[in-house]
Amino acid sequence: MYRCYEEHELGDAAERKLRTHYPQAADTLPAQASDTPAGCPVELFQQATANQLSHRSVSPWRYTLKTLDDHFPSTYTEAQCLCSGCILIKAPDSEPDKTPLPVESFDYNSVPIKQSKVFLKRELCSDGKRYYLKPVTLDVAVGCTCARVKTTSS
């Protein structure tokens, strides 16, 4: 059912198969290491407007590099929400006449927006020496949005 490839043929075969059978947008987003600390940038929200949507959003995010061993592509970018809540502009509760400022509101949640992406997973063929490329679909976060908090009905 699947064609088996020598180890040195896998990269070219995966690239060809992804291009012809599973075309997807190029992954050219600037990314940071996923172990870099991230925090909700409330204080930056009132500064000059940023160009990138990810920084202007009330649910800001950054892109991090992810690695999947035995997959093609093996490295991709994924969005990581920077806030638990959402950034709102409001006056302090105790002083409603004061100038409104950005605050992180936990009346809302920042949630990832996911998109299905096809990867090719390297699997060992029955001969135990060569490999075949199995298509697998994974949900990858591409941005974040603000949503009402989930409530449970009793």
pLDDT tens readout for residues 62-100 = 999 999 999 999 999 999 999 999 999 887 777 777 788
Rounded to an integer, what distance in angstroms lies between the CA atom of residue 81 and that of residue 143? 8
110 CB-near residues (< 8 Å, 6+ apart): 59, 60, 61, 81, 82, 83, 84, 85, 86, 144, 145, 146
Mean pLDDT of 34-58: 77
Work out the percent of the chain whose per-residue pLDDT is above 90: 53
- pTM metric for this prediction: 0.78
Structure tokens at 123: 């699997």
Cα–Cα–Cα angle for 6, 7, 11, rounded to 5 degrees: 105
Q: What is the DSSP string of 125-153?
A: -TTSS-EEEEEEEEEEEEEEEEEEPP---
The CATH number of the domain covering residues in 7-148: 2.10.90.10
Domain coordinates of the chain in residue numbers?
Answer: 7-148
Q: What is the pLDDT of residue 31?
A: 67
* Dist CA 64 CA 78 (whole Å): 5
Tell me the pLDDT band of 53, cut-offs 50, 70 and 90: confident
Q: What does the DSSP 8-state code read for residue 34? A: T
- Which ranges of the chain does DSSP label H, i.e. alpha helix? 10-21, 42-45, 53-56
Distance CA 108, CA 106 (A): 5
pLDDT at 48 over 70: no
122, pLDDT greater than 80 = yes
Phi, psi of 100 (to 5 degrees): -60, 140
